[in-house]
Amino acid sequence: MIQAFGLTSNSRKDLPPAIDDVSFEARAGRVTALLGTAGSGKTTALRLMLELEQGRGITYFRGRPLHRIAHPSREVGVLLGDVPGHPARTVRGHLRMLCAAAGVPARRADEVLEVVGLVSLRDERLGTLSRGMDRRLGLACALLPDPHTLLLDDPAHGLSARESQWLYGMLRAHAAQGGTVLFTTAVPKEAARAADRVVTLDGGRLVADQESAEFARTRLRPRVAVRSPHAARLAALLAKEARTAQRSVEVVREGGNRLSVYGSTCAEVGESAFRHGVLVHQLADEIGDMGPGATQAPSEEVHAPDDGAQPGGADRGSGPSQLPGPAGTVTDASEREASPSAATRSAEAVKNFDPLSPLPPPISVRPAPSPLRPLRYELRRAAGIGTGFLTGAAVLVTSALTAVALARIGHTPQSRLLAAWPRELPLPPAALGAGLLGALAFGDEFRHPALAADRGTVPRRLGLLAAKLLVSAATALLLAFLTVGCDAEVLYLVYGRELAEVPAEWLSLGASWIGLVVGCAWAGVLAAGTFRSTTAGLAAVVAVPVLVVPLVQKALEGASVRSAAGFPARFREVFLLQWPFGGERYLSAAVRVLVQPVGGALTLSLTALLCAYLLTTLRGRVR
């Protein structure tokens, strides 16, 4: 059950709030529609309920606000807009990745694929899905953690009649199992046909909260649906008889051989057709535009003016129907679903306004929780698309070609030759590739925010950061070993054994090489997570040798009263004398790496980026 109290958005400049003091309920086991035209505040209401937007009010989901629920995705399934997934990811891979985020078994992905009818498309890429298939995938993502409540923003927008019927059937089935369903729509006929209760918004205010039958009776117009091969002739005859009898009858050409007659009955229309010998294929009573074959195409209206009330039981003053206009006017059929009258809106506004009532509590934008299984999520995210594999292959090929070119030119130390690191370049290809992969780890999250579907923001939690750092470090290590191995093999094949020999100081050189590649990967992760961009992450990696290293060298080598020279020896004398099994050798090698300009600059950069990331995380929690 959903209970929304006093939802009020923050006003911007001199504009009124998008919604103002909106309160309603959506009961379990029923489908509730939030109806309103564009700009009425439907989407803003959902965002306030989900604490994605600043404002006032409170919403309870089965008695608890969303920020008090430990795992919101297991309580509320959300579909806001298109599926926020990487276009190169497969349907099944995307759902399995979200399974790790929601903490449910991976087999749940196959179960929901079967429910929404996407089993045959499970290996399709997200970027190739049609609008209808994308809606099905969005519903699958919402149903993945088996939530009690579904919140969907205009889920049938752009769908065909058949797809819309399937979608609303799924929502009805979820409600029949005891769940709560709330969806928004701008089409009154969809609200009356698919929902048990209709909540109507207009101008940001609540103007009606009705059962669907009451809504159809008071706010949709009854009509007679007619199909005839002589529709134009029949429309003219009906309008002529109405003018002669001084009756208010509206005849609408719906396109083709279909007519909609408002203000009359089946008996009257049938008698008129019989008297004039007009063949009729269909004659039925309908409510509003809910009948089959309804269209939004332009239509012609023929009216007979009358000052009296219109028959048929419709409330013209409070319903969304349009009053008859001058005879022979031409309008669109979609205009017939207009908003409630100004008098009704004014009366509701006066009734709802209470200057003495206290303000509802403020709504703060809450940070999203991190994945329940962050390491499994990150592994599936990284392996779900081919970007990482293509980047690794490009690095290996570039590094091998660079090593061959350097060997041909000569005058390159063996260590730099195996790393394919010319003196003219700030970083070797392996370090740049590791930095790019690290930047993509967070850059893809912000570009295709799969974790933000239910809360709106990519989480900045230490669990997710630790998983990304661990996976990026493992990827960088693999890339570092493969690069050296491929370079050595290519040099052996081209020039012989002499250029493929391992240097004598392979231990310290290997530690420096691993530290450089892993440090670049971590710098990319932290910078992309802090600045929310893959480009910023890669720029931070390149900035270390280009900008930070010269600054560190200048600080260490510049003239000063005190000097840090000899730091490794003094460190060994103070701390490493009592280490067993020769452990001081390894720590001493690590210290020598750190005091080098590149190592010191990389350490300084990583520390600064980590502090910046933690600061943004703490600021998000405080807000």
Sketch the domain layout of the chain as residue ranges.
2-217, 220-340, 374-622
Phi/psi at 266 (5° precision): -60, -40
- Alpha-carbon span 582 to 126, nearest angstrom: 55
Closest CA to 62 of 6, 2, 143, 146: 2
CATH architecture of 2-217: 3-Layer(aba) Sandwich (3.40)
* pLDDT reported for residue 44: 93
Q: What count of other Cβ atoms lies within 10 Å of the Cβ of residue 240?
A: 13
* pLDDT reported for residue 473: 93
Query: Torsion over CA of 387, 388, 392 and 395, rounded to 10 degrees?
Result: 60
* pLDDT reported for residue 290: 46
Sheet of strand 55-61: strand arrangement: 22-26, 2-9, 55-61, 362-363
Question: What residue type is assigned to position 422 of the chain?
Answer: P
Q: Check: CB of residue 365 under 8 Å from CB of residue 457.
A: yes
Q: Check: CB of residue 472 under 8 Å from CB of residue 434.
A: yes
Bridge partners of residue 201, in order along the sequence = 206
Mean pLDDT (10-residue bins), the chain, 623 residues = 93 84 94 93 93 91 91 90 89 95 92 93 93 92 94 91 92 94 92 93 91 84 88 91 88 85 89 92 76 38 37 33 33 38 37 47 77 93 93 95 90 87 89 94 89 71 90 95 93 86 81 88 91 90 83 64 55 54 55 58 79 74 50
- In the numeric block, which tokens belong to residue 15? 């504009």
Residues with Cβ within 8 Å of 274's Cβ and at least 6 positions away in sequence, in order, are none
* pLDDT reported for residue 618: 66
Q: Check: CB of residue 246 under 8 Å from CB of residue 346.
A: no
Buried b (16+ CB within 10 A) or exposed e, 470-507: ebbbebbeebbeebbebbbebbeeeeeeebbeeeeeee
* pLDDT reported for residue 472: 95
- In the numeric block, which tokens belong to residue 493? 């094949």
Residues with Cβ within 8 Å of 297's Cβ and at least 6 positions away in sequence, in order, are 254, 255, 333
Alpha helices in 277-386 (DSSP H): 342-352, 374-383
Residues with Cβ within 8 Å of 377's Cβ and at least 6 positions away in sequence, in order, are 97, 100, 101, 371, 464, 467
Enter the DSSP assignment of 100. H
Q: Check: CB of residue 454 under 8 Å from CB of residue 74.
A: no
Instruction: Tell how many helices (H) and how many strands (E) occur in the chain.
Output: 22, 16
Helix axes 131-143, 161-176, angle to 10 degrees: 10
Query: 220-340: what CATH class?
Result: alpha beta
Compute CA distances 392 → 202, 208, 396, whole Å: 55, 59, 6
- Alpha-carbon span 468 to 133, nearest angstrom: 31
Residues with Cβ within 8 Å of 175's Cβ and at least 6 positions away in sequence, in order, are 28, 29, 30, 31, 181, 196
- Alpha-carbon span 595 to 588, nearest angstrom: 11
